[in-house]
Amino acid sequence: MKKADTVLGRVVTGFAAICLTGASLVLYANAAPGIAQGFDSDGEKIFNRFNETPLPAMTGTDGKRTLNTYYQLRQYPGSPPRVPHDVPTSFSGDTLKCLSCHGKGGYDITQEAYAPVTPHPEYENCFQCHVPRLTEELFVETDWQSINPPPLGRSEMGGSPPPIIHSLQLREDCIACHTGNAAVAEIRVEHASRGNCRQCHVPMIATEPREEFIRNN
């Protein structure tokens, strides 16, 4: 009797293993065919950032970063910000020194402020785009003028989620800029724990013409 029970148990276990293997193959074959890795402007970075960021780091703000100070560090809206503090020459070529503050944020006693978190820490040559100001004099005389910052809000209906008013290139990690102590006060969100930002917020660049949506019957 015991031998028969053992044989039956092996048969049941083997059958269950075959069923699970077949189910996994079917799910793999039917899982989002044709979608390449890194779709949705690397939307998976949002989830990775959420999993790696402690909840206290996504709540609260010191209120020192505002849209006014945010745009003062940029030549025009959307351009890389300049470095607003002294940078030792030893930092050149050593990205880890920049990421020691800007990788996950934190309070910098020398600046008396929280360090903004970079949305693209995988790009290692920080000084290619971000440089400190060495002089107040113009490099060359010019009559160039910046453009106005994109307006906030622009929701289609009262209470509906506002669109994303900037491109997602190098700024696809929403949590890095819109949450935490160093977040810009006017655009800080209270619901970062929802994770999938672009489920409700979609890009609608302010400088591009708006297209009317027409439903196909």
The answer to whether residue 28 is domain-embedded is no
The answer to whether residue 83 is domain-embedded is yes
The answer to whether residue 140 is domain-embedded is no
Domain that holds residue 108: 40-133+153-207
User: Would you write out the chain's pLDDT as a tens digit for each of its 217 residues?
Assistant: 444 555 455 544 555 555 555 544 443 434 344 545 555 555 666 667 667 766 656 665 666 788 999 999 998 888 999 999 888 777 766 767 888 889 888 888 888 888 898 999 888 888 889 988 888 887 888 888 888 888 888 787 878 888 888 888 888 888 888 888 888 888 888 787 776 788 888 888 766 666 676 777 6
The answer to whether residue 159 is domain-embedded is yes
Q: Given this model, what pLDDT does residue 80 score?
A: 92
Strands 107-108 vs 113-114: parallel, antiparallel or unpaired: antiparallel
CA distance 78 to 9: 64
The answer to whether residue 4 is domain-embedded is no
- Cross-strand partners of 140: none
The CA-based angle 120-125-130, given to 5 degrees, is 75
The answer to whether residue 27 is domain-embedded is no
The answer to whether residue 75 is domain-embedded is yes
Q: Is the CB of residue 206 less than 8 Å from the CB of residue 150?
A: yes
CA distance 165 to 163: 6
Q: Is the CB of residue 162 less than 8 Å from the CB of residue 152?
A: yes
Domain count of the chain?
1
CA distance 121 to 102: 8
